[in-house]
Amino acid sequence: MELTDGKYQIQGLNVEEIADTFGTPLYVYDADKIQAQYDRLKAAFSGEHVKIKYACKSLSNLSVLKLLKKMGSELDCVSIQEVKLGLTAGFTPSQILYTPNCVSFQEIEEAVKLGVTINLDNISLLEQFGNTFNHTVPVCIRLNPHIMAGGNKKISTGHADSKFGISIYQMAHIERVVKTYNIQVEGLHMHTGSDILDAEVFLRGAEILFDAARHFNDLRFIDFGSGFKVAYKENDITTDIEDLGEKLTAAFKEFCKSYGKPLEMWFEPGKFLVSEAGVFLTRTNVVKTTPATVFAGVDSGLNHLIRPMMYDAYHEILNVSKTAGTKRVYTVVGYICETDTFGLDRPMHEIKEGDILAFKNAGAYAFSMASNYNSRLRPAEVLVYQGQAHLVREREEFEDLLKHQVALDFK
């Protein structure tokens, strides 16, 4: 979203007009930005053995999945439902990595039947898997490297107290299980969480994976996860993808040389690909002044965008309807019967009731975490592709709330 001639635009389309056409609240995604991020990542980790597995959980809209497939991306899924979404979008089973957490073994068996790559993150499931499939079905193992990524434990998954992955200190146990059941291990995986800034932190995790990989002779790939930080505000510090790509590619090539054969290098970015491509449009319902605060209350809430409340996430908020003039300080809040504060004490161009407010960085973990709390309806989604705005998810209607309810008749 860019400010051109006093109007915010996406691919030349007026953002206010998009809001008027499709209504608010509304998620809008810029296909050009997704393409640019994908191209940047591919260039940073260039080579014939690099595979990008888009993290479906960040934004699972079917049209977005099909767009990424067209770009050449493969898919990372964390539930059997995401796997089925991926297959519906046209991904082949061989292009899908399935990395569940705390699921039943029945779900694992269903994924095996669908033919996708299985990635297990606890020893109990690994034992059940080996007992059921022996060497007939290859498997990937997710390791916890015990590295704290970023500075926010809410979005870090590789620290010692995380529920994700098998501790690297349990390598001897893993080896015993693999040997006992003759399990064919084809890959190793780690994901330390979001907002990785320092290439050296990522490289430490890579070295841990390289050491672990030497315990397995028949690997096909190593999956380094993702967690690359994007900008949330002006002049924000971000992951230097080019620097990381150069250093990690060199380390990987050196490892493959000592391993004795070239392996595939996998990544599973979500936020990096789609976060900055998304903007969330809301309409101001009320401007309310109290003795201490001026509130701008919008036609949305934590039911549509929970990241600020759940992760203390920062989203830049802009008044799309007024792009010049004096700025005042507002606290932007939602219409949910909870404390759903989107932004505290934000300097913004003067807001009037009816103005369109835009939340930036709303492409990842935004609509995909939306709910019907307070019996509110989930918003529509629009994808701007080749200069046209396409509706890719209809706005919910009241009947959708009743669709799966069974009302008893009390007489």
Q: Give the CATH number of the domain where residue 128 resides.
A: 3.20.20.10
Query: Is 142 within the bounds of a domain?
Result: yes
For residue 79, being part of any structural domain is answered with yes
Residue 410 lies in a domain: no
Answer yes or no: is 164 within a domain: yes
Task: Show which of 253, 270, 287 is a domain's final residue.
Answer: 270
pLDDT in tens, the chain (411 residues): 999 999 999 999 999 999 999 999 999 999 999 999 999 999 999 877 999 999 999 999 999 999 999 999 999 999 999 999 999 999 999 999 999 998 999 999 999 999 999 999 999 999 999 999 988 999 999 999 887 554 544 434 444 567 888 999 999 999 999 999 999 999 999 976 656 666 788 888 899 999 999 999 999 999 999 888 888 888 888 888 999 999 999 999 999 999 999 999 999 999 999 999 999 999 999 999 999 999 999 999 999 999 999 999 999 999 999 999 999 999 999 999 999 999 999 999 999 999 999 999 999 999 999 999 999 999 999 999 999 999 999 999 999 999 999 999 998
Q: What residues contact 118, with CB distance under 8 A and at least 6 apart?
A: 98, 108, 111, 112, 129, 137, 138, 139, 140
Q: Which of 235, 270, 305 is the endpoint of a domain?
A: 270
Does the annotation mark 337 as catalytic? yes
* Residues 333 and 258 both lie in one domain: no
Q: Say yes or no: 116 and 234 in one domain.
A: yes
pLDDT tens-place string over residues 74-108: 999 999 999 999 999 999 999 999 999 989 999 99
In 3D, which of 197, 165, 189, 161 has the Cα closest to residue 265? 189
CATH number at residue 330: 2.40.37.10
Which tokens is 249 given?
A: 């590619």
Query: Do residues 108 and 218 share a domain?
Result: yes
Per the confidence metrics, is the pTM higher than 0.85?
A: yes
Are 181 and 302 contained in the same domain? no
Whether 254 and 135 share a structural domain: yes
Residue 237 maps to a domain: yes
Range of the domain at 331: 2-28+277-402
In this structure, the answer to whether residues 286 and 260 fall within a common structural domain is no
Using H for helix, E for strand and C for coil, what is the string for 143-207?
EECCCCCCCCHHHECCCCCCCCCEEHHHHHHHHHHHHHHCCCEEEEECCCECCECCHHHHHHHHH
Which pLDDT value is given to residue 197? 66
DSSP H helices, 260-345, are 271-274, 307-310
Residue 344: inside a domain, yes or no?
yes
Do 203 and 66 have their domain in common? Answer: yes
* Residue pair 131/181 in contact by the 8 Å Cβ criterion: yes
Asked whether residue 227 falls in the same domain as residue 104, the answer is yes
Q: For the chain, what is the domain count?
A: 2
**Is residue 407 domain-resident?**
no
pLDDT of residue 202: 83
Domain match, 111 and 89 both:
yes
Of the residues 244, 270, 296, the one at which a domain ends: 270
Question: Is 223 part of any domain?
Answer: yes
CA distances from 224 to 22, 111, 117, 189 (A): 39, 22, 16, 6
pLDDT single digits (tens) 255-310: 999 999 999 999 999 999 999 999 999 999 999 999 999 999 999 999 999 999 99
- Same domain, yes or no: 250 and 337: no
CB atoms within 10 A of CB 405: 6
Residues 181 and 297 in one domain: no
Do 246 and 287 share a structural domain?
Answer: no
